[in-house]
Amino acid sequence: MPEWTKLPGRPVRIAFLLFDEFSNLCLANCIEPLRAANTLTHANAFDWRIATMDGRTGKSSSGIDILASAALSQVGAVDYLFVLASYAHESHDTSANRRMLRAAARRAEVTVGLDSGPWLLASAGLLSGRRATVHWDLLDAFTERFLDVEASQARVLRDGPFMTCAGAMSALDLTLDLIAEHLGLSARLDVEALFLHGDPPVGKADEAVADPMVRRALGLMRETVERPLPLKQLAKRLSCQPRTL
């Protein structure tokens, strides 16, 4: 269970390896929370760099060019290596890339596959005997292709020194988990609040609840949050049976 707060130590070193046609949303959902965590804690808690296989510009699926600061071979030891591929992932599944991924994973404490990135990791033999997820559009093909990987329809999975993530929105969840792990739960909640992520504000949750009984129950629970009502008393106040709730 994450601690409430943790003092930042040395910066957590992260490298994002981009393959052309990567999802820019997936990348942003990783980098922006890290940037926000640094800002909110007034510390350089996370330090990241962008890499491509050859050090040249990476092009996202939306046509946005991202300037790389290094080729993968120039990336030294890191705490996290994020491997981000999305569309046209099979065109990146070459013997040279597989060899370089294996070498890079040895220099990383944790290797993270995002979107279709897990496909490239599995093809490099890095996920053999492990549980992994991948973008759900690829899950059936992934399961058939990589018989030595236990494929799962999870949003985020961690198995040893490897993490896999199914897509852009789950990349945000994964990054928030990392923030909590390194800076504590308080920092995660602060970042969630900054991006209006998580539970809706009080007064807005009811709009998403169609059942009037549930809305009334939520209202009573908020009013008595300091001294929560037992289920029987809550049901009595609502003039219903406990099992109805």
CATH of the domain at 144: 3.40.50.880
Q: Are residues 90 and 186 in the same domain?
A: yes
Strand spans (E) along the chain: 12-18, 46-52, 58-59, 65-66, 70-71, 78-85, 108-115, 131-132, 150-151, 156-159, 162-165
pLDDT at 199: 58
For residue 206, the model assigns a pLDDT of 47
Query: Cα–Cα distance between 88 and 22 in angstroms, integer?
Result: 9
Question: 199 lies in a domain?
Answer: no
pTM assigned to the model: 0.80
Are 177 and 212 contained in the same domain? no
Q: DSSP string of 104-165?
A: HHHTEEEEEEEETHHHHHHHTTTTTTSEE---GGGHHHHHHH-TTSEE---SEEEETTEEEE
Residue-wise pLDDT tens for the chain (245 aa)? 557 888 778 999 999 999 999 999 999 999 999 999 999 999 999 999 999 999 999 999 999 999 999 999 999 999 999 999 999 999 999 999 999 999 999 999 999 999 999 999 999 999 999 999 999 999 999 999 999 999 999 999 999 999 999 999 999 999 999 999 999 999 999 999 999 887 555 454 445 455 677 777 777 676 665 567 788 877 877 778 877 76
Domain boundary among 194, 214, 229: 194
User: Do residues 99 and 216 both lie within one domain?
Assistant: no
| Cα 32–Cα 33–Cα 35 angle in degrees, nearest 5 | 65
Q: Do the domain assignments include residue 4?
A: no
Closest C-alpha to 66, from 3, 22, 5, 4: 22
Specify whether 60 is located in the same domain as 137. Answer: yes
Please say whether the beta carbons of 34 and 46 come within 8 A.
Answer: yes
3-state SS, residue 222:
helix
Task: Say if residue 131 is in the same domain as residue 74.
Answer: yes
Tell me whether residue 139 is in a domain.
Answer: yes
Q: How far apart are CA 124 and CA 214, in angstroms?
A: 50
Q: Tell me, what's the pLDDT at 197?
A: 83
| Exposed/middle/buried for residue 202 (C-beta within 10 Å: 0-12, 13-18, 19+) | exposed
In-domain check, residue 59: yes
Q: Is residue 81 part of a domain?
A: yes
Tally of domains in the chain: 2
Residue of 116, 134, 113 lying closest to 22 (CA atoms)? 116
Distance separating alpha carbons of residues 172 and 158, to the nearest angstrom = 15
155 and 135 co-located in one domain: yes
Pair of tokens at residue 232: 């029987």
Specify which residues 48 forms β-bridges with.
Answer: 14
Whether 19 and 102 map to the same domain: the answer is yes
* Positive/negative CA dihedral, 15, 115, 62, 91: positive
Residue 80 shares a structural domain with residue 169? yes
DSSP secondary structure code for residue 211 in this structure = -
Return d(Cα 23, Cα 63) in angstroms, integer: 10
Same domain? 190 vs 209: no
16 within domain boundaries: yes
Range of the domain at 222: 205-244
CB–CB of 127/146 below 8 Å? yes
Q: Are residues 87 and 163 in the same domain?
A: yes
Domain identity same for 190 and 233: no
pLDDT score, position 162: 99
| Within a domain: 25 | yes
187 and 219 assigned to the same domain: no
Whether 113 is in a domain gets the answer yes
Cβ proximity of 24 and 62 under 8 Å: yes
